[in-house]
Amino acid sequence: MKFSVLSLIGHAPHPLNHRLPSPAERFEEVIGTGVVAERLGFDAYAIGERHAGPFLSSSPGVVLGALAARTSTIRLLTGVTVLAILDPVRVAEEFATLDQISGGRVELVVGKGAEAGHFDLFGLDEERQWDLQREKYELLRRLWSEEGVDWAGEFRPALKSTTTLPRPYAGPPRVWHGSATSLESPELAARHGDPLFTANAIQPRAAYARLIGHYRERFEAYGHDPARAHVAAGSGGLLIADSSQQAVERYKELYEARVAQSFRPHLEGRAGYNTPFRTIEEAIADGPQLIGSPQQIIDKILGWHEVYGHDLQSVTVDGFGLDADEQTETLQRFAEEIAPVVRREAPSALWD
């Protein structure tokens, strides 16, 4: 198993003390956590992209560029690049630039995004989101793999003999397809022989297992080698304690206050937006959150692996309001007490 750390750069008041750091403080915290993640041996660090809600992640390429300057080995991922609302020419240019600066450490995770509001913001029809995603992804593939591209589509002006610059560092970066609720992303990933990154963050495990099962079935049906069907899985947050009882005592108020704070009533009933695991006891027992003792977290990740067969596990440490020192402590415990066991029990050749 490989391991990544994800930040969506949330910027909501602390759910208990209501402190709200400045944007500059928040960016420094996120970049500093990436430096810590590299030092602790994590394989990748990912920055999300949001254009609605209390987040500062509208420009993930800029944040990853700052991180590239302060690291040397950790892979730099997006989580996700909201390709459906972006210009593929600009995406090709921006992330090829980052790929050059970082020495070929960039990989994209593309998706249509987890906030309904961004389609209105960019003047796009949410009803066409999957048409937008397909067309724009297929153009991005061509821009990174070909020069002198001639192209015509529905959602942007035609291109004639176009070569985007700079070119990627050493060939097209790997592109994962982010998948949370719909079969559309697994289908697109399978068609092109790309890896799948399942959100695994809010819904019960069976919902994500369905998406991954569809992906693997269609991957082989399209004629691709099943051994290349790489899967990654997210998680709904990481909180480590010495025991389950201690986790409840230490984090119950914090966890449940954050869940209440992040509840979006206008999206109630839509899969993938509001967690059904409202109490910390429910989250520990059945949720996609990684909360509890090191052994409980090991067991949960390996339980996912039995169902998902995934190569990469993503964790999030800044979603519940932990301060920078608590985040570092959590990542260190994960790196020392959890990751070695999971790596041994679920080996992966990804990135070897």
In a domain, 53, yes or no: yes
Mean pLDDT on 56-69: 98
pLDDT of residue 132 exceeding 80: yes
pLDDT > 90: percent of the chain: 92
Instruction: Kindly give the interhelix angle for 184-192 and 129-145, rounded to the nearest 10 degrees.
Output: 20
The answer to whether residues 32 and 66 touch, using CB atoms and an 8 Å cutoff, is no
What pLDDT score was predicted for residue 4? 98
What pLDDT score was predicted for residue 347? 98
What pLDDT score was predicted for residue 205? 96
Q: Would you state the structure tokens that stand for residue 62, as one six-digit string?
A: 């800029």
Mean pLDDT on 129-143: 97
Mean pLDDT on 11-20: 96
Mean pLDDT on 191-214: 97
Helix (H, G, I), strand (E, B) or coil at 201: coil
Mean pLDDT on 5-21: 96
What pLDDT score was predicted for residue 115? 75
Sign, Cα dihedral of 160, 86, 68, 335: negative
Arithmetic mean of pLDDT over the chain: 96
pLDDT of residue 272 exceeding 80: no
Give the residue numbers spanning the domain of 311: 2-345
In a domain, 114, yes or no: yes
What's the domain count of the chain? 1
| 43 band by pLDDT with thresholds 50, 70 and 90 | very high
In a domain, 352, yes or no: no
What pLDDT score was predicted for residue 52? 87
Helix (H, G, I), strand (E, B) or coil at 205: helix
Termini Cα distance of the chain: 11
Helix (H, G, I), strand (E, B) or coil at 5: strand
What's the distance, CA 230 to chain centroid?
Answer: 15
Instruction: Kindly give the interhelix angle for 205-221 and 294-308, rounded to the nearest 10 degrees.
Output: 40
In a domain, 226, yes or no: yes
pLDDT of residue 105 exceeding 70: yes
Question: Which residue pairs from 67-72 have beta carbons closer than 8 angstroms and sit at least 24 positions apart in sequence?
Answer: 67/31, 67/34, 67/35, 68/98, 68/101, 68/102, 68/105, 69/101, 70/31, 70/34, 70/35, 71/34, 71/35, 71/38, 71/45, 72/38, 72/103
The answer to whether residues 5 and 34 touch, using CB atoms and an 8 Å cutoff, is yes
What pLDDT score was predicted for residue 91? 98
In a domain, 153, yes or no: yes
Looking from the CA of 141 toward its CB, the CA atoms found within 13 Å total 16
pLDDT of residue 263 exceeding 90: no
In a domain, 103, yes or no: yes
pLDDT > 70: percent of the chain: 99
In a domain, 22, yes or no: yes
| 262 band by pLDDT with thresholds 50, 70 and 90 | confident
| 267 band by pLDDT with thresholds 50, 70 and 90 | low
What pLDDT score was predicted for residue 32? 98
Helix (H, G, I), strand (E, B) or coil at 328: helix
Helix (H, G, I), strand (E, B) or coil at 105: coil
What pLDDT score was predicted for residue 87? 98
In a domain, 350, yes or no: no
Q: Please report, for the domain that includes residue 189, its CATH number.
A: 3.20.20.30
Mean pLDDT on 58-84: 97
pLDDT tens for each residue of 275-314: 889 999 999 999 999 999 999 999 999 999 999 999 999 9
Mean pLDDT on 258-286: 84
pLDDT tens for each residue of 309-339: 999 999 999 999 999 999 999 999 999 999 9
What pLDDT score was predicted for residue 113? 83
What pLDDT score was predicted for residue 150? 98
SS3 of 227-250: the string is: HHCCEEECCCCEEECCCHHHHHHH
